[in-house]
Amino acid sequence: MDIATPDDLFSVAIERYKAGEPIAELIPLFKEICQRFPKTSAPWTCLAWLYLLSDQGNLALESAKKALKFNAQDPQARVNLALALLETQQKGVRSHVEILQHLIATSSEVRDEIETSIDDGLTRKPEWKALLKMKQWLFS
């Protein structure tokens, strides 16, 4: 890739995701962004999401943890971590869900962002049990 800044690389990658490019082709792109800019949270968040969409829970867990390490306030990173914990059958989901419930209750912007993300996930992977569970916990 010849695009130099994290924002430029990230924008290109997001546009490719929105255009419906296959997940398997996007994962290497986001991995490259994460390698080139390892302390930038957003690419790690997206990489975790892509891993979740492709049923790679352990890799999603690793990426989501890194995303939260670099930005503990990112609601999507927290959603991804909770989903990865569910997918890998690990403990600790409840605390993340409770934080998300609080964020949703106090910010309509966060609520809209998470709803949009969940809708996107269910469009791409309609029978995603962990995401359906997360949707119920957050919006019921």
Closest to 49 measured CA to CA, from 125, 110, 108: 125
Handedness of CA 34, 14, 67, 73 (dihedral sign): positive
Amino acid identity at 85: L
d(CA 124, CA 36): 28
Q: How distant is the alpha carbon of residue 15 from its chain centre?
A: 16
Closest to 44 measured CA to CA, from 57, 58, 61: 61
Domain boundaries, the chain: 6-139
Rg, the chain, Cα only: 14
Mean pLDDT, consecutive 10-residue segments, the chain of 140 residues? Answer: 69 95 96 92 97 98 98 96 97 96 96 97 96 96
Class of domain 6-139 (CATH, top level): mainly alpha
Q: Do 37 and 43 form a contact (C-beta atoms < 8 A)? A: yes
What pLDDT score was predicted for residue 72?
93
Handedness of CA 13, 136, 126, 95 (dihedral sign): positive
What pLDDT score was predicted for residue 44?
97
What pLDDT score was predicted for residue 2?
52
